[in-house]
């Protein structure tokens, strides 16, 4: 299951109470104060984990609650600190405060990008001081101690940063970069997604009625990607963040491979990595249809993948990319 947004309740541990206690020895009838301090409550910590690619773990239990600190004890002993509660999140996780009543997203509190990065979402409460701290020259027997401070708490909205509405998957030279350029209203940009070492090219397609769709060309999918060959995992993690997948095929077989073999290999990589990703809406973009001999290949492709939608395209010639552009309007647009 791929979970890309959810509401989470987080509560850090309360601080332990300071205590009132008196030194008691057999032959010391009236001992001074020796009540210890309470321990600090545990923090709720978010940690970017390279092996986590969705917010799935939180989905089943959208609560992050850290342990309280223990109360102080006699002989000036400080209570044990509460254990931190650490939530593993993928790189590219955004966290906003959430109003639990209206469900509205408030200010952004975290934008986690680097593997290993940590962020304290809720701070544990400080422990209260025990009565040994309240001794003064005039009051040598204070019956006073502080309660621990409450740990921070709140509701939060976690989401994964989207790369694009549609993401392209294909072998090198299939024409992905050319397609992004041909589809885009403006020059496609290298998107600044700090959580990826790959550099996705993202083009914006504009439609009448203030609609737009974004389409991304993320380099790097090769055979063996699911087993993390090359930048395989990195690629697959990021293609997870596209709503629709476009499998781009070189119908001219420019590199000597047949397009149906390429498609089978690409689908295998995707399925081996994640079943969820394999179930994501997808279609075939049969590219380079301007080249001689591609009609025959298209027939074979259609026979082999009968139930899959195939859109013909060419980035250099008629029929161009209009059909793809139209289809993406139905599948992937959102308000500008």
Q: Contact positions toward ligand GDP, by CB under 6 A?
A: 170, 172-178, 287-288, 290-291, 314-316
Looking at the Cβ atoms of 119 and 235, the one nearer to ligand GDP is 235
Distance CA 219, CA 236 (A): 10
Say if CB 183 and CB 215 are below 8 A apart.
yes
Give min distance, CB of 47 to ligand GDP, in A. Answer: 35
Give min distance, CB of 50 to Mg ion, in A. Answer: 25
Give min distance, CB of 299 to ligand GDP, in A. Answer: 18
Give min distance, CB of 170 to ligand GDP, in A. Answer: 5
Distance CA 334, CA 317 (A): 29
Question: Binding of Mg ion at residue 177 (CB under 5 A)?
Answer: yes
Question: Binding of Mg ion at residue 173 (CB under 5 A)?
Answer: no
Residues 6 or more apart whose Cβ sits within 8 Å of residue 55: 3, 4, 5, 6, 89, 90, 93, 158, 160
**Binder of residue 213, out of ligand GDP, Mg ion, none (CB less than 5 to 8 A by kind):** none
Give min distance, CB of 70 to ligand GDP, in A. Answer: 59
Greatest CA span in the chain, whole angstroms? 106
Looking at the Cβ atoms of 58 and 216, the one nearer to ligand GDP is 216
Residues 6 or more apart whose Cβ sits within 8 Å of residue 9: 62, 63, 64, 65, 153, 154, 155, 156
Looking at the Cβ atoms of 113 and 177, the one nearer to Mg ion is 177
How many CB atoms within 10 Å of residue 299? 10
Looking at the Cβ atoms of 205 and 218, the one nearer to Mg ion is 218
Say if CB 69 and CB 127 are below 8 A apart.
yes
Residues of this chain that bind Mg ion (CB under 5 A): 177
């Amino acid at each position: 299951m791929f979970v890309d947004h959810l509401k989470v309740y987080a509560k850090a541990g309360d601080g332990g109470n300071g205590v009132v206690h008196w030194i008691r020895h057999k032959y010391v009838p009236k001992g001074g104060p020796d009540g210890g301090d309470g321990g600090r409550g545990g923090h709720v910590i978010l940690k970017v984990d390279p092996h986590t690619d969705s917010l799935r773990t939180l989905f089943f239990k959208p609560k992050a609650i850290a342990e309280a600190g223990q109360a102080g004890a006699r002989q000036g002993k400080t209570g044990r600190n509460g254990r931190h509660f650490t939530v593993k999140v993928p790189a590219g996780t955004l966290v906003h405060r959430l109003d639990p009543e209206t469900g509205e997203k408030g200010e952004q509190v975290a934008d986690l990008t680097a593997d290993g990065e940590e962020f304290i979402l809720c701070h544990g409460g400080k422990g209260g001081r025990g009565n040994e701290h309240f001794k003064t020259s005039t009051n040598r027997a204070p019956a006073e101690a502080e309660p621990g401070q409450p740990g921070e708490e709140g509701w939060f909205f976690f989401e994964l940063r989207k790369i694009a509405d549609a993401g392209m998957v294909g072998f090198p030279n299939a024409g992905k970069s050319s397609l992004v350029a041909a589809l885009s209203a403006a020059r496609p940009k290298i998107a600044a997604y700090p959580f990826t070492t790959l550099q996705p090219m993202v083009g914006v397609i504009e439609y009448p009625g203030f609609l737009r769709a974004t389409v991304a060309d993320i380099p790097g999918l090769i055979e063996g990607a699911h087993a993390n060959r090359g930048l395989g995992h990195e690629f697959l993690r990021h293609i997870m963040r596209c709503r629709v997948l476009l499998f781009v095929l070189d119908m001219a077989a420019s590199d000597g491979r047949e397009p149906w073999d390429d498609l089978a290999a690409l689908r295998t990589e995707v399925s081996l990595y994640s079943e969820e990703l394999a179930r994501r809406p997808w279609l075939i973009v049969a590219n380079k249809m301007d080249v001689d001999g591609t009609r025959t290949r298209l027939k074979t492709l259609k026979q082999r993948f009968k139930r899959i939608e195939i859109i013909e395209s060419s980035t250099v010639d008629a029929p161009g990319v209009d059909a793809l552009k139209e289809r993406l309007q139905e599948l992937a647009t959102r308000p500008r």
